[in-house]
Amino acid sequence: MMKLYFINQYKYTILICGLCFMSLLSCQSKLDIPKPKDLLSEHQMGQVLADILLLQNYSDNTVSSDSTLSIQDFQNAITDVINQKYQLKDSQAFYSYRYYVKNPDIFLRVIKISQDTLQGLFNSKDSVSAVKSVE
């Protein structure tokens, strides 16, 4: 009877502690992703992410208003534009991104580079033409 009282009184505390413990275990990486041979530099990955964000923003506004474009086709076009601009192999940006995401300290630096790149575009006098040139 005492056990049942203890469990009923602290059931939410036990549940929350159990969920916290399980979430801590689930956050650990199960797979170590090796460093790709053709890994993009942090600087180049930051620039690629900035361009992807610009193109993604454009696609969100364009594809939703134009029913003739499929989202998948536009996503493929974004990949093609990025690969051509940076002269990348088909999956080089993907594997580089996956590697950086699994290494949060490095990824934060990549995001900072991307943020600085975007901030520089929008602070420049030619920000409107810079965004149009990505279109």
- The DSSP-derived string for the chain is -HHHHHHHHTHHHHHHHHHHHHHHHHHS-SSPPPPPTTPPPHHHHHHHHHHHHHHHHHHHHHHTT-TTS-HHHHHHHHHHHHHHHHT--TTHHHHHHHHHHTSHHHHHHHHHHHHHHHHHHHHSTTHHHHHHHH-
Tens of pLDDT along 62-118?
666 655 667 777 778 888 889 999 999 988 999 999 999 999 899 999 999 999 988
Instruction: Please tell me which residue, 5 or 114, carries the higher pLDDT value.
Output: 114
In this structure, the answer to whether residues 1 and 55 fall within a common structural domain is no
pTM for this predicted structure: 0.66
Domain that holds residue 18: 1-30
In this structure, the answer to whether residues 61 and 104 fall within a common structural domain is yes
In this structure, the answer to whether residues 46 and 26 fall within a common structural domain is no
Query: For the chain, how many structural domains are there in total?
Result: 2
